[in-house]
Chain A
Amino acid sequence: MPLSYFTTTRKLFLFQIFSILGLFTISTIAFAQEKYTVSGYVKDAANGEVLIGATIAVASLGTGTTTNVYGFYSVTLPAGDYQLIYSYLGYQSNALAVSLHENKTLDIELNSADVELQEVVISDERPENNVQDVKMSREELKIEKVKSLPALFGEVDILKTIQLLPGIQTAGEGTTGLFVRGGSADQNLVLLDEATVYNPSHFLGFFSVFNPDAIKNLEIYKGGIPARYGGRLASILDIQMKEGNNKRLGISGGIGSISSRLTVEGPLKKNESSFILSGRRTYADLFLKLSSDEDISNNTLYFYDFNAKANYKFNDQNKLFISGYFGRDRFGVADQFGLNWGNATATVRWNHLFSERLFLNTSLIYSNFDYGFDIDTEVAAFTWNSNLKEYNLKLDFNFFPNPENTLDFGYQATLHKFEPAKIIPGEGTNFEQLLLDDKYALEQAVYIGNNQQINDRISLEYGLRYSLFQQIGPGIVYEYEPGTPYSDETITNTVEFESLENIKFYHGLEPRLGARYLLTSNSSIKASYNRMRQYLQIASNATAGLPIDRWIPADRYVKPLIGDQVALGYFRNLNQNMIEASVELYYKWMDHIIDFKSGSDILLNNNIETEISEGKGWAYGAEFMLKKNTGRATGWISYTLSRTRRQVEDINGGLPYNARHDRTHDLALVGSYQVSPRLSISGNWVYSTGTAVSFPAGRYQLNGQSIPYYDPLKRNAYRMPDYHRMDLSVILDGKNKKKKRWQSNWSFSVYNVYARKNAFSITFDEVTNNDPGFDPDEDGPVITKGPAAIKTYLFSIIPAVTYNFKF
């Protein structure tokens, strides 16, 4: 049977409802003659980049709207004279008198507020988004802010910086993965120009794949997730690439301690269309080449990133964007061993304006993650490849009926292809090839959401998403003896499915709701609820990710993850909106989480169901944020108090236990100070409770070796030592004359200023002479030998220098 009849009809049905709903609203409004629409784009005056989330306030009405991700806005008002105030954080506001007696297109350019000007510009016109916007549990970061903060090895890294925000944690420095409000690392959807990035890290997590020169904006949704997003439980990290300067050709770049960057951008058609090409490459391996030791100089070790984007404006109604990313890590030892992995994404987007009030973006997206080993030694010779592919179609409508309502609705379809592993032994070896079964899945969703202002005090953001997931053929399903645990021995039948045949179908509704109640002009309370369904996950028990992690789809035995979250927040601006303060409380339930019985069998196993135990998880916490965005001194204090628990059959005796990434306290202090127009200093200090971990409760002898004993009822019952660290940076601008095109700066950063030896891992082994590195063959006589706890730490103090330029 091809695609399930049920699915298709259900999908069509819902889609029709949405279409009808859309048409209905359009037609009602079309007949209300006395209303007119002002619409257009809000852009940066310096380079023509559109500004995402810029506010357009209608002064006399106290209502307004914001620009969408393409910088587009639309406000429909009764005929009359209005003052529209365009504002965007870090930019000078622009107030415009508009006489509205016909539909108008107004493209607005805002000037960036330079530091010299800021002292003057700061006024009560600053947007009070923090308090007034219905959105909560969201954090936005400007790339300029990220660039000003200290960075490990001087490599500016957005994924590292967002870990300084409340509710977002890491498993340990130097590891991949974000842990958002108790979710695990595979529960974050990382989107780069809408394309899923499955492994956003280089060098196993020391650096992220996002070249800061190519990135414009990022926003992370920890809760209150709008209906247009789905597919992951914990968070959506939405990252947009720059579009490129459409005013003039520019070249910028940087030379750093471990990598260099170069970006070229410029207009394709002045003020309308532009392109950007940006590349980054590390050169650690070039230093290896200098080594006289052949063992070292023959090795390769590097990564690179390449981003490209172009947009073309056909006319006021049609605009095309093409963007792509390609990045790779390569590691090789002589000619014997090679390992490489990387992501590739491509996005084609077409913005179409049906009318001043109806905006459609259509996207076609491709995403691929793959890794490969190849080994050619006496011991073994084989190549090993794995691939994860995704093809996407998205139709996203924005409808702006009136200033009180902004509707989003659309349809999304994704075809997933999983190629877990193909291991092909070299010729003449004793091994047989291993080809794991490929799997296919089709994921679809329809959604509708509305952002509605009920009255001066109450604002709502609500929506509904209906997601459908099918594992489809070709594929093989194993059937097991009923009533027995799944194992190779209890397989009774092997069912083969034809191409496109439905193997397993899951579907469900995902309601989303957010509400804001304005207490005073500078304080509000907000609440939100969202349900998320996740149909793919990483099959791993480890906390930190590796490029070889295997993504698996929901299938007959692995159920989709379902997560529900409620959050409540109090938001308040102080000191004439100079300071934003917020407190958020959240509680989250996660169903069908899985744990794996044995690590070794997960990666290369066709019937992974024999290795799983199912359970549930929950997390709760309080997040405090105090933030100063303007003035010479800026920064924030973020503190999270949280708990993350799991309960899985067969683990910890079936009793609840801490998730490995559970941290009780997490504090970050981040500050920047503009000392003079040329000099700024920044610093951050982080403190967190150690993650939850299992420690041995004894020791025994087996096969003549010493083995640690773990209490099976004390999973993650202990704590790693507390973690804290301070980093500092200084940015010194060159004598950049306003009229000269060449602009430059030096960035000096010091990571882990007081060189704390933060524990990366603690392992248990026998140690000689109290020195884990002691080698009795070389280092002299053995004085003591005994069991010990060994701490591994990664980084001591690390200084770095980067030179940045642009012209």
Chain B
Amino acid sequence: MCARVIRFGKSIFWLLSMALAPACQEVIDLALPVDEPQLVIEGFLTYWEDTPQKNNCTVIISTTGDYYDANDFNPVNDATVELIDLGSQASYTVNRVENNEGIYKSVTIPLDSGRSYKLRVDYAGQSYEATGTLLPVAELDTFTYRYQPEQGFLDEGFYLYFSGRTPKERGINYYRFLIYENDSLYNAPEDYLIQTDEFLKEDIDTLQLANYAFDAEDTVRIEMYSLNKDTYEYYNELLELLFNDGGLFSSPPRNPSSNIQNITDPGQPPLGFFQVSTAFGETVVIEEE
């Protein structure tokens, strides 16, 4: 909530300055440098408590390219990916999905809540490693929705609410939510729903989840993922970058610090992250009241 409130605060200032000075935007020609391609690792290890058949380890490996290149995905197909269960020391190879460039996936690795795992990627003579623990998600009582008329910044429509309990007894918990409307994921920079329960009460009673106003008959799917602290911090830095104004009201832009380390050359960490999550999902169809 904390980071979100601050971002909210900052966007209010931005809004205020826009109100004062009707700012205009235009696309400009600006020569940009082009660096050597940098390795990007996007790793997910997801444990579905209620539907273990969906458990998977998915790793997308690519490199950076020219900023102005229309294509922003430069897949890496010749990496070696393995996942190690840090409890049993069992190692599982994660193979590239055929006909899917840059994507490595395994659905057969046995996963269990509370266990820790290590991801290892070998590419171009360098080894990259990251670890994470399958932490519990908040217990859900209900997802509900409620109609709200138009109000200030918010459109009229149905808003989603969460009731349940967050396991504060084990310390601060971090979550990420994904929301799908009729099977399409809300996936713009402003759609990152990254939360901590640091300032939440343990028992959560109809907490509004996001500022989306849904229409009647929409099918809404909500997925909740637990995050390790380093992944939460990664997302926070990512958001800071995505909403950066070039260092005027925000910090100078910098790449989010990855939780993946370069074992061979620690001074050259990769871009990206390794997210180890317990996940939970539910679908509701909004009905007119």
Contacts and interface: CB of A to CB of B under 8 A. Distances in A.
Contacts of B30: 695, 762, 789
A339 interface: yes
Given A379-B154, A379-B211, A789-B27, A761 B38 contact: no
User: Chain B at the A interface: mostly helix, strand, loop or mixed?
Assistant: mixed
A521 interface: no
A171 B246 CA distance: 12
Contacts of B40: 700-702
Given A337-B152, A660-B247, A694-B246, A787 B67 contact: yes
B33 A707 contact: no
Given A339-B12, A542-B247, A599-B250, A698 B28 contact: no
B142 interface: no
B34 interface: yes
Contact of A695 (B10, B33, B204, B251): B33
B6 interface: yes
A331 interface: yes
A543 B255 CA distance: 18
Given A431-B200, A711-B35, A760 B253 contact: no
Contacts of A771: 27
B268 to A, nearest CB: 10
A677 B228 CA distance: 74
Interface string A580-618: 000000000000000010111101100000000000000
Interface in B54-70: 62-70
B252 A716 contact: yes
Contacts of B124: none
Nearest to A173: B21
A601 B29 CA distance: 35
B238 A707 contact: yes
Contact of B154 (A377, A384, A704, A706): A377
Contacts of A172: 248
Interface stretch (A30-38, A83-91, A681-689, A790-798): A790-798
B90 interface: no
A423 B242 CA distance: 26
Contacts of B24: 757, 792-793, 796
B26 interface: yes
Interface in B229-262: 233, 236-242, 244-255
B285 interface: no
A763 B204 contact: no
B187 interface: yes
Nearest to B152: A336
A772 B26 contact: yes
Interface in A200-218: 203-204, 206
Contacts of A697: 32-35, 67
Nearest to B13: A546
Most buried by B among A601, A703, A714, A763: A703
Given A761-B248, A792-B24, A598 B187 contact: no
A173 to B, nearest CB: 9
Contacts of A337: 12, 152-153
A419 to B, nearest CB: 17
A598 B70 CA distance: 30
A286 interface: no
B97 interface: no
A542 B66 contact: no
Contacts of A349: none
Given A206-B21, A336-B151, A546-B13, A710 B253 contact: yes
A699 B152 contact: no
Contact of A791 (B6, B26, B33): B26
> Which 4 pairs, one residue from A and one from B, show the smallest C-beta to C-beta distance?
A541-B251, A698-B64, A697-B35, A789-B30
Interface of B: 1-3, 5-7, 9-10, 12-13, 16-17, 19-21, 23-30, 32-35, 37-38, 40, 42, 62-70, 72-74, 148, 151-154, 159, 185, 187-189, 199-201, 204-208, 211, 233, 236-242, 244-255, 271-272
22 contacts: A172-B248, A203-B16, A203-B20, A204-B17, A378-B154, A542-B251, A598-B236, A697-B67, A698-B35, A698-B65, A700-B65, A702-B238, A702-B271, A705-B187, A709-B38, A711-B33, A716-B247, A773-B25, A787-B69, A789-B28, A792-B23, A793-B26
Given A175-B248, A700-B40, A790-B28, 6 more contacts: A697-B67, A702-B42, A707-B238, A771-B27, A789-B29, A793-B26
